[in-house]
């Protein structure tokens, strides 16, 4: 949990020993735990703890579109609602969805859409509700990752999963998976998501400065991290079926 206000950000984000303030090496991910089928009333659901982030995703669909005028006669639509709880951050967040939440909902929707077969579901909607109950940097990446898991848990046909992680730069060094403080006080932040059926990047945002060489190296670091995140997603999905098989 970040308990610092803007003026109190540390001057240095790397320690004397070259490690990060939370003890991680430059390319280490924070501890990640994922679980599917956590909300019984949803068609599919998942939960992720990614460092201090705690996020639920629930999926409903295909179902009737409300309001009706949003329905498309030739395809289904995907609607994503990313929300951060008022108590999820140090300074109380206003409860009404702000510009940031709308933007994050849109980018998550755009990076998940390529893996769905929306053309097979005319006139219907798929809705994903993402609830961030504790936030500490990288929530859009963790949300994308957990939303893809919830879609898979719902049994919705997908071309592949989608995995996401940020890379960036602090104190002139490239790092993987920025924490809240690294996100706010660092030099740059680049959230990336990957669709695995075509190995394409479906999300790439960028804030800060990097040269071409740093950008290329960051993308390589992101790909390594995404491969790890992907394996964890697969494990979380498999765990559900192993438990069913074993009658747990």
CB of 221 to ligand UDP, least distance (A): 17
Residue with smaller CB distance to ligand UDP, 58 or 164: 164
Q: Which chain residues interact with ligand UDP by CB under 6 A? A: 89-90, 93, 100, 135-140, 180, 183
If the CB atoms of residues 90 and 206 are measured against ligand UDP, the closer one turns out to be 90
Cα–Cα distance list, 124 to 41, 117, 180, 199 (Å) = 19, 12, 37, 28
- Which of 96/248 has CB closer to ligand UDP? 96
Residue 111 beta carbon to ligand UDP: minimum distance, rounded to whole angstroms:
13
Minimum distance between the CB of residue 114 and ligand UDP, rounded to whole angstroms? 20
Looking at beta carbons only, is 100 or 238 nearer to ligand UDP? 100
Which is closer to ligand UDP, CB of 166 or CB of 232? 166
* Residue with smaller CB distance to ligand UDP, 43 or 182: 182
Q: Which residue has the tokens 């730069």?
A: 169
């Amino acid at each position: 949990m970040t308990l610092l206000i803007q003026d109190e950000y540390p001057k240095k984000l790397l320690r004397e020993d070259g490690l990060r303030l939370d003890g991680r090496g430059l390319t280490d991910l924070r501890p990640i735990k994922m679980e599917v089928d956590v909300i019984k009333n949803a068609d599919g659901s998942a939960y992720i703890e990614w460092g201090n982030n705690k996020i639920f995703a629930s999926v409903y669909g295909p179902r009737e579109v409300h309001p009706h005028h949003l329905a498309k006669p030739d395809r289904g639509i995907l609607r994503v609602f990313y929300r951060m709880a008022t108590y999820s951050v140090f300074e109380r967040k206003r409860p009404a969805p702000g510009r940031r939440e709308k933007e994050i909902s849109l980018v998550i929707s755009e990076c998940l859409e390529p893996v769905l077969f929306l053309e097979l579901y005319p006139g219907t909607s798929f809705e994903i509700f993402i609830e961030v109950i504790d936030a500490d940097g990288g929530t859009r990446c963790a949300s994308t990752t957990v939303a893809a898991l919830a879609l898979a848990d719902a049994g919705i046909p997908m071309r592949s999963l989608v995995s996401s992680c940020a890379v960036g730069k602090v104190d002139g060094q490239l790092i993987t998976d920025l924490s809240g403080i690294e996100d706010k006080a660092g030099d740059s932040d680049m959230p990336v998501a990957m669709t695995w059926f075509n190995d394409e990047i479906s999300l790439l945002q960028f804030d800060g400065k990097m040269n071409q060489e740093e950008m290329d190296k960051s993308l390589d670091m992101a790909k390594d991290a995404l491969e790890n995140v992907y394996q964890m997603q697969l494990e979380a999905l498999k765990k559900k079926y192993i438990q069913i098989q074993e009658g747990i």
